Amino acid sequence: MQYRTLGKTGLQVSLLGFGASPLGNVFDPVDEKDGISAVHYALDQGVNFFDVSPFYGLTLAETRLGKALEGSRKDIILASKCGRYDLQHFDFSRKRILQSIDESLARLKTDYLDLFQLHDIEFVNKQIILEEAIPSIQELVASGKVRFWGITGLPVRYLAQIARETNPDTVLSWAHYNLLDDEINDELVPLSLELGFGLMNAAPLMQRLLSDGTLPPWHRSSLEVKAMQPILLEFCKSYNVRLSDLALRYAMNHPNIATTIIGMCELEIVKQNVAALDFIIPEELMEKIELLLAPVKNRMWFEGKEENNLRSKI
């Protein structure tokens, strides 16, 4: 396993991060024992960064991850989130954040988190984030329940805007550095180097689109983008390469992203993802893939309040 420094936190995190959302049955029903076995295998392979949220499975993912990590707390970097609790349930008030940390700690069976993050900040008014949520989460850092704090979301330019104004310890961007999108490079990467916050990338497989997995019914990519999946699968097959290996290795190759977080909960998938650390992308294949995807590059969908998105809806 390779490790990188998570910005100014100084934490050494595994290049491959364990995204625990699938433990909450977000994609498919998961047997709890199988999920716990997958976590244990990841631990044995040196994965030390685990990211979760009460939103995933409506607290189920946190509960299962807590069970899986019992006895391993000193060996891991544990991150959770607050502010988002259901598809349309957002509460970034001080009262809810202070309550949320205690609930997460209980489910995760620990007395502190290494990282506590404001989850999907684009869905509420900027004023709430700046005037209530961030002071509240900083209060938790001062209390010792949280070591570091960060922000997460989809619109990368809004993340950069908030980061400039608040100087977080970390920023988690999802779906903006993968084979289909590289918008993270425009502002967020240079800003992370300037301000020193730890930069994390999630969803390198674009919620299964860049794999042989069945797309979930809630997937929001356009039909034009979704139509690329079978084409990519057939193309990679001709090179005897697994699309998910190519996509994950591509994302992990970014030199300025500390950890690439991928959702996983099945033992065989964890084994594949760990093996992708040693995968070398054939240069010819990469050149052809880039040409193939050029017409649909950076065609991201819109989420959250429109004023928090500086791009037009796709």
Which positions are catalytic?
Answer: 56
The bridge status of strand 113-118 relative to strand 198-202 is unpaired
The DSSP element (H or E) to which 113 belongs, if any, is: strand 113-118
Q: Using only C-alpha atoms, what is the Rg of the chain? A: 18
Q: Are 35 and 60 spatial neighbours (Cβ–Cβ below 8 Å)?
A: no
Displacement of CA 79 from its chain's centroid (Å): 11
Phi, psi of 123, rounded to the nearest 5 degrees: -90, -5
- For residue 81, report the phi and psi dihedrals to the nearest 5 degrees: -140, 170
Q: Which helix (H) or strand (E) holds 224?
A: helix 223-226
Q: Are 40 and 68 in contact (CB under 8 A)?
A: yes
CB atoms within 10 A of CB 284: 9
In eight-state DSSP terms, residue 122 is G
